[in-house]
Amino acid sequence: MTLNVIVTIHELLCVALLYSVFCRACKTCEKVRTDVRLAFALLGWVACAGIAAPLVWGLVPDLFGLALLAAITVVQLVTAQHWEKGVPDKFYKTGHAPRARRSCDSKGGCGHVS
């Protein structure tokens, strides 16, 4: 693969990862466990840094780095179905998970429209 193709794949994966984190962040609030929010904040920060890295720091992604980035992005995409109706109940702080959430509900436990 040429360097341009590798960098393009890297950039696309970082953008997809950042978008997946953004979609989850839009559904979270102070009722969501702090460790969950921090994990997604860190993942989003790293995705942003990954977008800038080839342009700002001259990073040349290797194939293992691309594979790892692709695997994390795929995990985010596959688990997105669990976030369709809002934050999964297990990610809420104790006593803050919405009870008896129906499939026709349009709001998550944080009061945001899904």
DSSP character string of 82-106:
GGTTSS-GGGBPTT-SPSS--TT--
Task: Give the pLDDT band (50/70/90) at residue 108.
Answer: low
Task: Give the pLDDT band (50/70/90) at residue 98.
Answer: confident
Neighbours of 73 (CB within 10 A): 20
Predicted local confidence at residue 97, as pLDDT:
85
Percent of the chain with pLDDT over 70: 87
The tens digit of pLDDT for each residue in 79-91 reads 999 999 999 999 9
Torsion angle of alpha carbons 72, 1, 3, 62, nearest 10°?
A: 40
Whole-number Å distance between alpha carbons of 113 and 27: 8
| Full-model pTM | 0.84
Closest to 43 in 3D by CA, of 12, 20, 9: 20
Closest to 84 in 3D by CA, of 62, 60, 49, 108: 108
The tens digit of pLDDT for each residue in 3-44 reads 899 999 999 999 999 999 999 999 999 999 999 999 999 999
Mean pLDDT, range 59-64, rounded to an integer? 94
Closest to 101 in 3D by CA, of 36, 110, 71: 110
